[in-house]
């Protein structure tokens, strides 16, 4: 898919978190139709950046533009209504609700009942395991199943841009394969994705472009396929 207009633009972003300058002046952009990945080791500032974009953390300096307008200071609720949805690190499912209720929560900003029902069927087609267990409480599911549910819930809001924070963290190798397969499928359906991932090789394999984040700064960027073969990236993140 050829990339279109810039949907998300982060400019000189600085965020202090717990008294520490976690993000120190970061610039990157995501264009319509792209799958962009932000890779880096634990503590690099990736999750802090995601939380700042989605209004979960205040920013100290810089700006975040979405659809050409600044969203600095906007709350997560407003942003979901505008089509910016996030699958958070740690999944964050509603453990005492069923799978169906969790998916309905993802569509809470919508009033088109027929569209919601249609989208739920699409989620079930993407994640057959969720359909099998539709009335099961989310808290009784495995980590991988909860990750599928968190992804499905975000898709129920019909996002223009889907932010995913460490979707493979803590999952078995088989479930990691499934999650990356689904990320690729969702992107193929036309959803623009910003993916934060510690599993750099898997992220770069499915991404269009990548950014490397170290100690709160972007230190490298480029086409994902080129980054996969870059000796520095391979040495630092791919264990070679």
Question: Apex CA 31: angle with CA 73 and CA 38, to 5°?
Answer: 75
Question: Tens digit of pLDDT for each residue in 52-84?
Answer: 999 989 999 999 999 999 999 898 888 989 999
Share of the chain above pLDDT 90, in %: 77
Could you tell me which residues come within 8 angstroms of residue 65 by beta carbon, excluding any fewer than 6 positions away? 6, 8, 9, 10, 11, 71
CA distance 187 to 208: 11
pLDDT at 39 over 70: yes
pLDDT digits (tens, 9 = 90+) for 189-231: 899 999 999 889 999 999 999 999 999 999 999 999 999 999 8
The CATH number for 197's domain is: 3.40.50.300
Q: For residue 1, is it within any domain? A: no
79 belongs to a structural domain:
yes
Residue appearing with tokens 């934060």: 196
Q: Is the pTM of this model over 0.95?
A: no
Structural domain span for residue 174: 6-237
The closest alpha carbon to 167, from 125, 195, 128, 189, belongs to 195
C-alpha to C-alpha distance for 163 and 89, rounded to whole angstroms: 10
Q: Are strands 161-165 and 84-87 parallel, antiparallel or unpaired?
A: parallel
Assigned domain for 202 exists: yes
Does a structural domain hold residue 29?
yes
Burial class (CB in 10 A: 0-12, 13-18, 19+), 114: exposed
Structure tokens at 84: 């910016």
Calpha distance 210→84 (Å, rounded): 20
Q: Which residues contact 190 (CB under 8 A, 6 or more apart)?
A: 1, 33
- What percent helix, strand, coil does the chain show, rounded to 5? 40, 30, 35
Structural domain count of the chain? 1
- Residue carrying the six token digits 């599993």: 199
Residue 85 lies in a domain: yes
CA angle centred on 185, ends 183 and 188, rounded to 5°: 110
User: Does residue 213 belong to any structural domain of this protein?
Assistant: yes
Say what the pLDDT of residue 1 is: 43
Residue 67: which region, alpha, beta or left (left: phi > 0; alpha: psi -120 to 50)?
left
Question: Which pLDDT band, with edges at 50, 70 and 90, does 239 fall under?
Answer: low
């Amino acid at each position: 898919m050829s990339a279109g207009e810039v949907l998300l633009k982060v400019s000189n972003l600085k965020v202090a978190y717990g008294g520490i300058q976690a993000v120190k002046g970061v610039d990157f952009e995501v264009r319509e139709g792209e799958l962009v990945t932000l890779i880096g080791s634990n503590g690099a500032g990736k999750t802090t950046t995601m939380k700042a974009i989605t209004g979960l953390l205040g920013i100290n300096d810089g700006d975040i533009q979405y659809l050409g307008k600044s969203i600095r200071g906007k709350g997560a609720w407003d942003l979901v209504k505008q089509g910016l949805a996030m699958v958070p690190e740690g999944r964050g499912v509603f453990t005492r609700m069923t799978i169906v209720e969790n998916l309905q929560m993802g569509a809470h900003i919508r009033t088109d009942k027929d569209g919601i029902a249609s989208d739920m069927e699409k989620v079930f087609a993407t994640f057959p395991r969720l359909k099998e267990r539709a009335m099961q409480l989310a808290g009784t599911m495995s980590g991988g199943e909860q990750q599928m549910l968190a992804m499905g819930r975000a898709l129920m809001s019909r996002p223009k841009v889907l932010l995913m924070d460490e979707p493979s963290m803590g999952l078995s190798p088989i479930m990691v394969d499934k999650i990356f397969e689904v990320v690729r499928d969702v992107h193929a359906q036309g959803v623009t994705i910003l993916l934060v991932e510690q599993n750099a090789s898997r992220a770069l394999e499915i991404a269009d472009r990548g950014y490397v984040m170290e100690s709160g700064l972007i230190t490298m960027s480029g086409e994902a396929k080129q980054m996969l073969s870059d000796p520095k990236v391979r040495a630092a993140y791919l264990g070679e």
